[in-house]
Structure 1
Amino acid sequence: MSSDKAVTEVARDLGVSPEGLRTWVKQAKIDRGEGPAGALTTAEGEELACLRQRVREQEATIEVLGKATAFFAQRKT
């Protein structure tokens, strides 16, 4: 209970929600290698988000190229 009160007091001092502060502390532990197995570090999460964005962009490009190929294939006949 004492640590919960400390988190609440610190959160109030910082002007953030206690749950937000707990989330930050949890992520900091993960970033230091102290988190549960399989938990993503901040850097890994950012890389994953970037890679997912690139996949979406490449899928859109592939779709456009497929439509263009179909269009030009029809014009040839």
Structure 2
Amino acid sequence: MPAPRKYPDELRERAIRSTGRPIAHVAKDLGIHKEVLRGWVRQAEADYGERDDRFSTVERDELNQLRRENADLKRANEILKAASVFFAQEIDRPRTRPSR
């Protein structure tokens, strides 16, 4: 589950649209840290296809989903390996007849 957003989406979008001015000035006017705004701008540029050095939001979400799925599959594979070892030992054990 993602962390809750500290800033409202409206503020984020307004800040990104206002970047015709220097980022430090816009950030000061809006009461946010300039590096927060810089990150928002970079992510918006990646989302619009203007940057190649970072994943878009859609790509990042997909990557996180695939990582979770991969971890689940690795856990399932470990369980299956342990079960196969257990059943192989059961098959190799000599059978004794119950005494009458």
- Give the structure-1-normalised TM-score: 0.81
Residue 62, structure 1, aligned to residue 93, structure 2: no
Task: Name the SS of the counterpart of 2:36 in structure 1.
Answer: helix
36, 43, 47: which is aligned to 2:58?
43
Q: CA deviation at 1:15?
A: 3.3
- Unaligned runs of 5+ residues in structure 1 are none
Q: Between Structure 1 and Structure 2, how many residues are aligned?
A: 73
Residue 26, structure 1, aligned to residue 42, structure 2: yes
Partner of 1:6: 22
Query: Computing the radius of gyration over CA atoms, which structure comes out larger, 1 or 2?
Result: 2
Distance 1:34 1:61 in 2: 40
- Give the structure-2-normalised TM-score: 0.64
Distance 1:16 1:10 in 2: 9
Distance 1:26 1:7 in 2: 11
Identity, in percent, stands at 38
Task: Name the SS of the counterpart of 2:82 in structure 1.
Answer: helix
Residue identity opposite 1:55 in structure 2: N
Higher helix share: 1
- Unaligned runs of 5+ residues in structure 2 are 1-18, 93-100
Deviations 1:42-68 (A, max 9, x none): 100110011011001100110011001
The Cα RMSD (Å) is 1.9
Distance 1:60 1:10 in 2: 47
